[in-house]
């Protein structure tokens, strides 16, 4: 029975005790006395009746005040203390009970705080021992995280149900490029811990590859792999290498045969071959143009040349056939020149070249030359926006060799580099002041095998330049600086797109791109409502709006969200986007969210943003603080976008009222303070979403203490709170 109910019962009992004697006496007088006796008694007691009634009323009110004071000071105080004790035990070790109220309650609070101090000392000692025991495991995890972060190839690891349990930053970048909304969810609507890889790739293709690997295991192949080519969501062509994840040593039965090894998951190594495929297609088109396109011209030339063999051919006809041959040959020459120019990059010898920033290339050249040749190197003109495709090792060898020749033959002690761009080519100039170099000597250096300080290479400078499909020549500076220079023409490229860090949330740690506990994840047959809260995947979200009245035209101006998988807040799998509301902001809202009107200019409208957010939140339970407010804004856009957010929704406002019904405030800041959750980025959509998610995670053990463990139980408990009756 609730304390409030017991308080009401006490008031009723007190009322009965106060009025009971009066009612009994009145009944006796009415039924046992005669009318004359009643009149005499009334006449005798009449003057005292008002005084007696007043005293009775005063006694009743005094009793109510006493009971109310006892309830407030003792019952309510002890109930709040019980909630605070639960906070100390389950959510916030640093929390201590305020020593307020009557002396007896203060004494209980002091004893409870002393026990908490002893508990913390013991827990600190245990935690120190656990930290020492887990240090080596953490080091291995950090090595893995560093290795995965630095890999240039996309890697995704899944369990047998296709749930992603590991991926690296390159994979996230690759999936972002395939996303229809790369600037919003950063590819998070396609890839993320706990998401299904089958949302990206055809299930049948992956199942076929798994069958190939399992067949290899049955045939006792030492390292079975499967290769296939498939398309991504954006039509990108991907080459995929699938490898198995096998149980670790000691986890399989000792008598298991090698052919009985079972899979626990699979590794996908992805390579985007769209550009390679397009290049091959262009090359095929070029060959078709050079063969089929010139077939008619060759037939005309052959026919004309055969006619010219007749000695008695008329002069006019001879001239016409000669002109025909001349025109066809000229047309073929033009076609050949145009094709060679258009496909120059595909006609060069293939050699693996890597993309790098031109400034980095010249910085490396400067270090090598100054350290090995003791020559001063200056960077005269450097366009830091230029990217090049080079074999950096052989190119640095060539530059080092050329400078060494300048030092030995011309006694040059200072050189300069200049880097400028000209379309698809880059001009890299190696300049030196002083004596000019003859063309013959420059040519001999270009064709000589490179050697320096006893190290020799089978390549020449010309080989290195050909490897890059470029050119090299010697020139005199035309700017009047009396300096000669070698000009190297190298292939340019576009800068590789970089993954930008989060705007509002910064972290010194490594992104949570892996969770091996998901190996244990299997699809369950039970309904979502009967799933444990600790087993579900969540999208915690928040919105910022132009005002508080969605039905009167207020609009969303920002959506922020993050995900909870396997009981962990994935701050780096986030969604954050400003929205152009196509209306003005209310002046009173700007100081709250800090979003100025000019920040929304040029941002996508809600009909572009909601599809990306809908994809990001798919297959998850939504969580918000006062979520009814945010959901109302989303529901108002169902007709516009055709998207319905029909997944279950949990509200931390309702849940706070469930776990702490006797607390004075359920504002997000107050709940975060009680649960020792740091507030970062308050009143930004993503900042509020992350705080809400951390609050929810701290609530889970408190809900379990009250017997609320499943989604159904959480929703039913929340519906009984006062806040569930608020409508928007």
Which percentage of the chain shows pLDDT scores above 70? 71
Which three-class secondary structure state does DSSP give residue 383?
coil
What number is the average pLDDT over the span 312-341? 80
Rounded distance between C-alpha atoms, residue 513 and residue 149, angstroms: 9
Query: Do 192 and 171 meet the contact criterion of CB atoms below 8 Å apart?
Result: no
Which neighbouring-strand residues pair with 491? 425
Closest CA to 551 of 646, 644, 639, 633: 633
Rounded distance between C-alpha atoms, residue 348 and residue 687, angstroms: 52
* DSSP letter string, 169-180: HHHHHHHHHHSS
Which percentage of the chain shows pLDDT scores above 90? 21
Lowest mean pLDDT among 13-22, 119-128, 289-298: 13-22
- Residue 581 neighbours by CB under 8 Å, 6+ apart: 546, 555, 556, 557, 600, 606
More confident: 233 or 260? 233
Q: Residue 268 above 80 pLDDT?
A: yes
Enclosing H/E stretch for 449:
strand 449-452
Residue 619: DSSP 8-state: T
Residue 351: DSSP 8-state: -
**Per-residue pLDDT at 555:** 93
What number is the average pLDDT over the span 381-385? 85
Compute CA 657 distance to the chain's CA centroid, rounded to the nearest angstrom: 32
- The Cα-based distances of 202 to 84, 154, 197 in angstroms read 52, 18, 9
Closest CA to 344 of 420, 276, 424, 272: 424
Top mean pLDDT of 121-135, 274-288, 324-338, 392-406 is at 392-406
Rounded distance between C-alpha atoms, residue 690 and residue 680, angstroms: 8
Rounded distance between C-alpha atoms, residue 414 and residue 624, angstroms: 65
Rounded distance between C-alpha atoms, residue 21 and residue 40, angstroms: 21
**Per-residue pLDDT at 692:** 94
**Per-residue pLDDT at 418:** 92
Lowest mean pLDDT among 23-27, 207-211, 402-406, 694-698: 23-27
* DSSP letter string, 674-702: HTTPPP-STTSHHHHHHHHHHHHHHHHHH
Q: Residue 548 above 80 pLDDT?
A: yes
E strands present in 586-693: 621-624, 649-651
Query: Do 157 and 147 meet the contact criterion of CB atoms below 8 Å apart?
Result: no
> Exposure of 141 by Cβ count < 10 A (0-12 exposed, 13-18 middle, 19+ buried)?
middle
Rounded distance between C-alpha atoms, residue 297 and residue 280, angstroms: 26
Q: Residue 243 above 50 pLDDT?
A: yes
Backbone φ/ψ region at 707: left (φ over 0), alpha (ψ -120 to 50), beta: left
Q: Residue 726 above 90 pLDDT?
A: no
Rounded distance between C-alpha atoms, residue 653 and residue 671, angstroms: 9
Which neighbouring-strand residues pair with 538? 564, 621
Q: Residue 220 above 60 pLDDT?
A: yes
**Per-residue pLDDT at 46:** 60
- Residue 498 neighbours by CB under 8 Å, 6+ apart: none
Rounded distance between C-alpha atoms, residue 439 and residue 475, angstroms: 9
Rounded distance between C-alpha atoms, residue 405 and residue 408, angstroms: 5
Instruction: Count the Cβ atoms, other than its own, within 10 Å of residue 306.
Output: 10
Give the torsion sign (CA, 59, 63, 64, 68).
Answer: positive
* DSSP letter string, 115-130: HHHHHHHHHHHHHHHH
Rounded distance between C-alpha atoms, residue 93 and residue 85, angstroms: 10
Give the torsion sign (CA, 474, 478, 479, 482).
Answer: positive
Mean pLDDT of the chain: 79
Q: Residue 325 above 90 pLDDT?
A: no
Q: Residue 71 above 70 pLDDT?
A: no
Parallel, antiparallel or unpaired: strands 556-565 and 538-545 = antiparallel
Give the torsion sign (CA, 163, 168, 174, 178).
Answer: positive
**Per-residue pLDDT at 592:** 82
Q: How confident is the model at residue 391 (pLDDT cuts 50, 70, 90)?
A: confident
Which three-class secondary structure state does DSSP give residue 589?
coil
35 is written with which tokens? 């009318």
Q: How confident is the model at residue 263 (pLDDT cuts 50, 70, 90)?
A: confident
User: Catalytic residues, which ones?
Assistant: 683
Lowest mean pLDDT among 87-91, 204-208, 435-439, 714-718: 87-91
pLDDT, tens digit (0-9, with 9 covering 90-100), for 640-654? 989 999 889 999 999
Rounded distance between C-alpha atoms, residue 347 and residue 121, angstroms: 73
pTM metric for this prediction: 0.58
How many residues are present in the chain?
728
- Residue 490 neighbours by CB under 8 Å, 6+ apart: 388, 389, 390, 395, 425, 426, 428, 468, 470
Secondary structure of 526-573 in the HEC alphabet?
CCHHHCEHHHCCEEEEEEEECCCCHHHCCCEEEEEEEEEECCEEEEEE
**Per-residue pLDDT at 676:** 86
Residue 516: DSSP 8-state: G
**Per-residue pLDDT at 428:** 93
Q: How confident is the model at residue 354 (pLDDT cuts 50, 70, 90)?
A: confident
More confident: 724 or 533? 533
Which three-class secondary structure state does DSSP give residue 196?
strand
Lowest mean pLDDT among 58-62, 202-206, 221-225, 510-514: 510-514
pLDDT, tens digit (0-9, with 9 covering 90-100), for 137-163? 777 767 766 666 667 788 999 988 888
> 670-675: long-range contacts at Cβ-Cβ below 8 A with a sequence spacing of 24 or more?
671/695, 674/87, 674/91, 674/92, 674/95, 675/87, 675/91, 675/92, 675/699
Q: How confident is the model at residue 376 (pLDDT cuts 50, 70, 90)?
A: very high
Query: Do 658 and 703 meet the contact criterion of CB atoms below 8 Å apart?
Result: yes
Lowest mean pLDDT among 199-203, 633-637, 695-699: 199-203
What number is the average pLDDT over the span 227-239? 80
Query: Do 595 and 557 meet the contact criterion of CB atoms below 8 Å apart?
Result: yes
> 324-331: long-range contacts at Cβ-Cβ below 8 A with a sequence spacing of 24 or more?
324/300, 325/301, 328/297, 328/298, 328/300, 328/301, 328/304, 329/301, 331/297
Cα separation of the two ends of the chain: 33
* DSSP letter string, 232-299: -TTS-EEEEEEEEEPPPTTSS-TT--GGG----EEEEEEEE-HHHHHHHHHHHHHHHHHHHHHHHHHH
Query: Do 715 and 702 meet the contact criterion of CB atoms below 8 Å apart?
Result: no
**Per-residue pLDDT at 384:** 84
Within a 13 Å sphere around the CA of 194, how many CA atoms are in the beta-carbon half?
21
Q: Residue 349 above 60 pLDDT?
A: no
What number is the average pLDDT over the span 264-285? 78
**Per-residue pLDDT at 577:** 92
Instruction: Count the Cβ atoms, other than its own, within 10 Å of residue 246.
Output: 15
């Amino acid at each position: 029975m609730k304390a409030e109910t017991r308080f009401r019962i006490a008031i009723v009992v007190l009322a009965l005790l106060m009025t009971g004697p009066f009612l009994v006496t009145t009944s006796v007088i009415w039924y046992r006395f005669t009318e004359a006796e009643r009149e005499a008694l009334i006449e005798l007691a009449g003057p005292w009746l008002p005084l007696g009634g007043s005293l009775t009323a005063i006694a009743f009110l005094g009793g109510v005040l006493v009971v109310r004071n006892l309830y407030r000071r003792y019952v309510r105080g002890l109930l709040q203390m019980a909630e605070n004790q639960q906070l100390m035990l389950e959510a916030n070790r640093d929390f201590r009970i305020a020593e307020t109220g009557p002396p007896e309650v203060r004494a209980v609070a002091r004893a409870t705080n002393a026990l908490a101090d002893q508990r913390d000392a013991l827990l600190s000692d245990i935690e120190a021992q656990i930290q020492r025991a887990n240090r080596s495991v953490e080091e291995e995890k950090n090595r893995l995280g560093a290795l995965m972060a630095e890999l240039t190839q996309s890697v995704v690891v899944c369990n047998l149900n296709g749930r992603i349990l590991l991926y690296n930053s390159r994979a996230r970048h690759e999936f972002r490029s395939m996303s229809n909304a790369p600037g919003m969810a950063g590819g998070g609507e396609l890839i993320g811990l706990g998401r299904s890889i089958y949302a990206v790739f055809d299930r049948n293709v992956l199942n076929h590859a798994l069958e190939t690997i399992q067949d290899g295991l049955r045939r006792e192949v030492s390292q079975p792999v499967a290769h296939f080519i498939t398309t991504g969501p954006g039509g990108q062509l991907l080459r995929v290498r699938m490898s198995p994840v096998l149980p670790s040593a000691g986890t399989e039965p000792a008598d298991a045969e090698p052919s009985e090894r079972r899979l626990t998951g699979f590794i996908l190594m992805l390579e985007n071959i769209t550009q390679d495929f397009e290049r091959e297609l262009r090359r095929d088109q070029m060959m078709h143009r050079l063969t089929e396109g010139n077939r008619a011209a060759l037939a005309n030339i052959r026919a004309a040349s055969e006619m010219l063999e007749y000695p008695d051919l008329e002069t006019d006809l001879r001239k016409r056939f000669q002109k025909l041959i001349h025109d066809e040959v000229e047309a073929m020459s033009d076609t050949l020149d145009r094709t060679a120019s258009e496909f120059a990059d595909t006609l060069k010898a293939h050699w693996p070249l890597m993309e790098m920033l031109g400034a980095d290339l010249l910085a490396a050249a400067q270090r090598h030359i100054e350290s090995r040749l003791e020559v001063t190197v200056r960077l005269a003109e450097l366009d830091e926006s230029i990217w090049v495709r080079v074999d950096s090792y052989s190119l640095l060898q060539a530059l080092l060799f050329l400078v060494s020749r300048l030092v030995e033959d011309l006694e040059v002690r200072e050189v300069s580099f200049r880097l400028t761009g000209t379309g698809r080519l880059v001009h890299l100039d190696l300049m030196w002041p002083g004596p000019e170099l003859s063309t013959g000597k420059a040519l001999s250096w270009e064709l000589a095998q490179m050697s320096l300080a006893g190290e020799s290479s089978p390549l020449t400078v010309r080989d290195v330049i050909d490897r890059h499909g470029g050119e090299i020549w010697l020139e005199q500076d035309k700017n009047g600086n009396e300096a000669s220079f070698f000009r190297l023409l190298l292939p340019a490229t576009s800068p590789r797109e970089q993954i930008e860090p989060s705007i509002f949330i910064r972290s010194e740690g490594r992104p949570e791109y892996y969770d091996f506990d998901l190996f244990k994840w299997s699809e369950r047959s039970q309904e979502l409502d009967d799933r444990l809260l600790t087993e579900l995947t969540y999208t915690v979200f928040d919105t910022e709006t132009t005002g508080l009245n969605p039905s009167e035209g207020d609009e969303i101006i920002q959506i922020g969200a993050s995900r909870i998988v396997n009981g962990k807040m994935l701050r780096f799998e986030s969604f954050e986007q400003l929205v152009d509301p196509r209306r003005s902001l209310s002046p009173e809202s700007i100081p709250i969210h800090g979003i100025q009107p000019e920040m929304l200019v040029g941002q996508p409208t809600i009909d572009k943003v909601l599809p990306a957010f809908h994809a990001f939140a798919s297959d998850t339970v939504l969580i918000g603080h006062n979520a009814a407010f945010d959901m109302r804004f989303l529901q108002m856009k169902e007709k516009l976008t055709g998207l319905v957010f029909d997944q279950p929704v949990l509200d931390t406002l309702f849940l706070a009222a469930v776990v702490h019904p006797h607390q004075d405030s359920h504002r997000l800041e107050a709940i975060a303070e009680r649960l020792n959750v740091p507030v970062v980025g308050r009143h930004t959509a993503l900042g509020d979403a992350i705080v809400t998610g951390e609050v929810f995670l701290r609530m889970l053990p408190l809900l379990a203490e009250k017997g609320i463990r499943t989604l159904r139980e959480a929703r039913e408990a929340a519906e009984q709170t006062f806040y569930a009756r608020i409508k928007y």
